[in-house]
């Protein structure tokens, strides 16, 4: 584990303009630098780099962070990998604390599996290009599919020979252990090569490491499956992997769209033809993990289907979960008998691009039309169709978008909008009740609920159509004051407030008695982490948060401290018109901090007063005296803070 000392040195040393400048052409614009965003396709620069704050932010797509986060996002690296990358760039020696024996073993196992897969890929590639059987069978097959050698090498394609233990014996002689070869999935549990006489496709993770393989046979033996894949392991989880994502991620961001196909060869053919924002689910329905990988780069998915109606309906059954993740889904139906690979070869790249652009249909409307054709003239089937469509529409989070779908579907199905609204409301209420029951069951078991995933997170707007959104438990929240406290810690944390006390130390000491009262979990998490750092006698700067490994913390920190407009020095330098009634914006933090702390404490103390009033009503005689003392103290604090803030009508 990389030590905090090294992490802090990397944060302090890495200059955002240097790191971003390796990938983006930046031009001076006032105190900042401006360039074209590397995360989405834009013609007018909106990607801003602030050397003073050591952060970047795109005001087009919203991406933001520090030097470490930029490397993570741009290169698809984990937090430790990004730290090592920057340490190498700036010649920083990495100091590592000793992890537990279990962690060491786990890390060694994963490293071994990566090494074995890398070695297997090299072996299969060598077999493809340097053996007679590889050339005659494997290379011949790939070239018949239209792949040139550059593409074959780029995707790491290969050939597994027919021998029972050709690779296993070779790997064993090179020192690889049999149990790890079996864990990696290249050797069977009986000790034989798992892949034999097959064309090999390599599955990469987001950072380009080999995590598994897909093998295709040319045998016509019906007992032999056409494709077999690596078994799941510590490094390969099928429902969290997408074929081609490593090669497609940058293109997906630039196009702001991901094209989804079914097979390996579809991905490779489209990529070779210049359509690089394409991935494959490898014959399975989309999973939440796979959707999450795509959503990391774009909210827009375009799915290419061949013309088989049965196959389309089967594939569409799992797409409601895509809508639940607030994704925009379009469907392109290819002519009967064609798949993306074959149709691309038939039309050519330019015509194929034009076809999928012109024939992309919204998923819900496409599904409505498809099912209407099937149910034509059959009232019973039409009733089933309505229930099916309503189920999909109910998953759409955006209420405006949902309303548009209802209007359009009502017209196409020749049915009243109100009927659709009523049915959708039933589903929404049913889902809400289900969540409430699950929450109650969790509370009854006295167990902390598991963290929400993309699969179980409730939609942002769960109100039924025509109803007001569900109210929070308190009509007036403390969101502004909580975020303001976080802003003060993030923006000014390491500055001296008075004497030798830093802003962060002052703020955290001042709110220590109400620190448990945060409503916003993320704000509470930031404050708790800052408190821990300060108690360990360390300073905390804005870079601690803008280079945090939690992307949610990074985004909140930057959103609170980085605005699209800054004070121009031209007022004083060129126009000789300095600030008249106050100091420079960056110098007002002392009063800002003290007033912000008072406002925050006043809100929280008022809440505690009300909470203790309720406790007093039901207090036992033994607890009454102690609660009265607490209530008196709270009332005094509330009155004092109210007077200092000039608040009118303080509750007595």
CATH code where residue 42 lies = 3.90.580.10
Location of structure tokens 């029972």: 164
Same domain? For 568 and 603 the reply is: yes
Same domain? For 538 and 625 the reply is: yes
Instruction: Tell me if 438 is assigned to some domain.
Output: no
User: Which residue, among 251, 233, 356, 232, has the nearest Cα to 303 in the 3D structure?
Assistant: 356
- The confidence score (pLDDT) of residue 456 equals 43
Q: What angle do CA 384, 386, 392 make, to 5 degrees?
A: 110
CB 34 within 8 A of CB 569: no
Tokens standing for 103?
């962690």
- The confidence score (pLDDT) of residue 127 equals 96
Handedness of CA 537, 539, 545, 546 (dihedral sign): negative
Tokens standing for 380?
């019973």
Instruction: Tell me if 451 is assigned to some domain.
Output: no
| Burial (0-12, 13-18, 19+ Cβ within 10 Å), 116 | buried
What is the tens place of the pLDDT at every residue in 343-379?
998 999 899 999 999 999 888 888 888 888 777 778 8
- The confidence score (pLDDT) of residue 634 equals 79
Location of structure tokens 């690296």: 77
Tokens standing for 274?
């210049």
Same domain? For 220 and 357 the reply is: no
- The confidence score (pLDDT) of residue 296 equals 79
In angstroms, the CA 611 to CA 93 distance is 52
In angstroms, the CA 481 to CA 142 distance is 62
Inter-helix orientation angle 363-375/399-413, to 10°: 20
Compute the half-sphere exposure of residue 392: CA atoms within 13 Å on the CB side of its CA.
25
Q: For the CA atoms of 188, 193, 199, 202, what is the dihedral angle to 10 degrees? A: 60
In angstroms, the CA 290 to CA 296 distance is 10
Same domain? For 85 and 107 the reply is: no
CATH code of residue 201 = 3.90.980.10
Instruction: Tell me if 434 is assigned to some domain.
Output: no
Same domain? For 171 and 63 the reply is: no
Same domain? For 157 and 296 the reply is: no
Instruction: Tell me if 508 is assigned to some domain.
Output: yes
Domain end marker among 236, 266, 294: 236
CATH code of residue 399 = 3.40.1360.10
As for how many domains the chain has, the answer is 4
Q: Which residues fall within 8 angstroms of residue 649, CB to CB, at 6 or more apart?
A: none
In angstroms, the CA 359 to CA 345 distance is 18
Neighbours of 367 (CB within 10 A): 24
User: Which residue, among 211, 207, 251, 204, has the nearest Cα to 73 in the 3D structure?
Assistant: 207
Domain end marker among 49, 67, 89: 89
Which phi and psi angles does 328 have, rounded to 5°?
Answer: -100, 120
In eight-state DSSP terms, residue 96 is: B
Handedness of CA 421, 423, 425, 428 (dihedral sign): negative
Tokens standing for 147?
């792949």
Neighbours of 321 (CB within 10 A): 17
Same domain? For 72 and 115 the reply is: no
In angstroms, the CA 547 to CA 79 distance is 9
Range of the domain at 196: 101-236
Instruction: Tell me if 493 is assigned to some domain.
Output: yes
Q: DSSP 3-state assignment of 222?
A: coil
For 84, 345, 388, 421, the CA distances from 468, given in Å and listed in that order, are 50, 53, 26, 15
In angstroms, the CA 160 to CA 199 distance is 6
In eight-state DSSP terms, residue 296 is: T
Location of structure tokens 């290169």: 75
User: Which residue, among 252, 249, 391, has the nearest Cα to 319 in the 3D structure?
Assistant: 391
Regions of the chain with pLDDT less than 70: 283-284, 307-311, 313-315, 317-318, 439-477, 562-587, 647-652
Same domain? For 204 and 69 the reply is: no
Same domain? For 260 and 398 the reply is: yes
Kind plus residue range of the DSSP H or E element containing 329: strand 328-333
For 172, 449, 488, the CA distances from 528, given in Å and listed in that order, are 50, 20, 14
Same domain? For 375 and 487 the reply is: no
């Amino acid at each position: 584990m990389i030590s905090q000392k090294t992490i802090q040195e990397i944060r302090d040393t890495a200059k955002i303009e240097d790191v971003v400048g390796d990938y983006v052409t930046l031009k001076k614009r006032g105190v900042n630098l401006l360039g074209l965003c590397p995360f989405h396709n834009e013609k007018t620069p909106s990607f801003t780099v602030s050397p003073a704050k050591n952060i970047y932010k795109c005001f087009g797509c919203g991406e933001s962070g520090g030097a470490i986060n930029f490397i993570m996002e741009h290169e698809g690296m984990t937090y430790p990998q990004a730290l090592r990358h920057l340490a190498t760039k700036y010649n920083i020696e990495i100091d590592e604390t000793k992890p537990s024996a279990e962690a060491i073993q786990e890390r060694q196992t994963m490293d071994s599996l990566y090494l074995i897969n890398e070695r297997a890929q090299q072996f299969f590639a060598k077999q493809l290009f340097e053996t007679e059987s590889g050339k005659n069978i494997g290379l011949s097959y790939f070239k018949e599919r239209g792949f040139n050698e550059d593409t074959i090498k780029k995707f790491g394609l290969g050939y597994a020979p027919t021998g029972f233990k050709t690779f296993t014996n070779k790997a064993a002689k090179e020192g690889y252990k049999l149990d790890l070869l079996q864990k990696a999935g290249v050797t069977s549990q009986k000790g034989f090569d798992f892949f034999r006489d097959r064309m090999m496709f390599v599955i990469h993770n987001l950072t380009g490491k080999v995590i598994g393989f897909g093998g295709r046979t040319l045998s016509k033996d019906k007992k032999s499956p056409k494709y077999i894949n690596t078994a799941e392991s510590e490094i390969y989880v099928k429902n969290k992997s997408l074929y081609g994502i490593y090669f497609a991620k940058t293109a997906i961001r630039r196009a702001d769209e991901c094209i989804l196909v079914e097979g390996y060869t579809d991905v490779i053919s489209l990529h070779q033809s210049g359509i690089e924002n394409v991935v494959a689910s490898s014959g399975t329905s989309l999973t939440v993990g796979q959707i999450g990988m795509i959503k990391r780069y774009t909210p827009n998915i375009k799915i290419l289907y061949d013309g088989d109606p049965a196959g389309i309906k089967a594939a569409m059954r799992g797409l409601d979960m895509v809508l639940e993740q607030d994704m925009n889904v379009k469907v392109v139906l290819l002519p009967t008998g064609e798949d993306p690979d074959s149709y691309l070869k038939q039309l050519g790249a330019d015509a194929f691009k034009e076809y999928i652009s012109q024939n992309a249909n919204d998923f819900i409307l496409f599904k409505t039309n498809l099912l209407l054709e099937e149910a034509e003239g059959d009232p019973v089937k039409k009733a089933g169709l309505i229930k099916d469509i309503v189920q999909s529409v109910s998953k759409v989070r955006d209420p405006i978008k949902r309303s548009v779908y209802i209007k359009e579907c009502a017209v196409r199905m020749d049915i009243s909008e109100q009927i659709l609204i009523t049915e959708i409301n039933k589903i929404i209420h049913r889902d809400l009740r289900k969540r409430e029951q699950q929450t109650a069951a969790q509370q009854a078991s006295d167990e902390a609920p598991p963290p929400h995933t993309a699969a179980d997170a409730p939609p942002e707007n769960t109100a039924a159509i025509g109803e007001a959104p569900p109210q929070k438990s308190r009509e007036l929240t403390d969101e502004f004051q909580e975020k303001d406290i976080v802003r003060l810690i993030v923006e000014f944390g390491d500055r001296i407030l008075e004497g030798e006390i830093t802003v962060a130390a002052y703020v955290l000491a001042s709110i220590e008695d109400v620190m448990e009262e945060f409503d916003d979990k993320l704000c509470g998490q930031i404050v708790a982490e800052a408190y821990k750092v300060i108690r360990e006698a360390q300073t905390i700067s804005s870079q601690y948060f803008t280079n945090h490994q939690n992307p949610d913390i990074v985004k909140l920190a930057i959103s609170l401290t980085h605005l699209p407009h800054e004070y121009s020095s031209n007022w004083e330098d060129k126009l000789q018109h300095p600030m008249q009634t106050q100091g420079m914006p960056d110098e007002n933090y002392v009063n800002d901090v003290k007033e912000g702390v008072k406002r925050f404490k006043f809100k929280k103390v008022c809440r505690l007063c009300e909470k203790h009033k309720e406790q007093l009503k039901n207090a036992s005689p033994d607890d009454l005296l102690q609660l009265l003392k607490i209530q008196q103290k709270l009332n005094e604090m509330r009155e004092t803070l109210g007077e200092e803030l000039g608040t009118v009508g303080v509750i007595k």
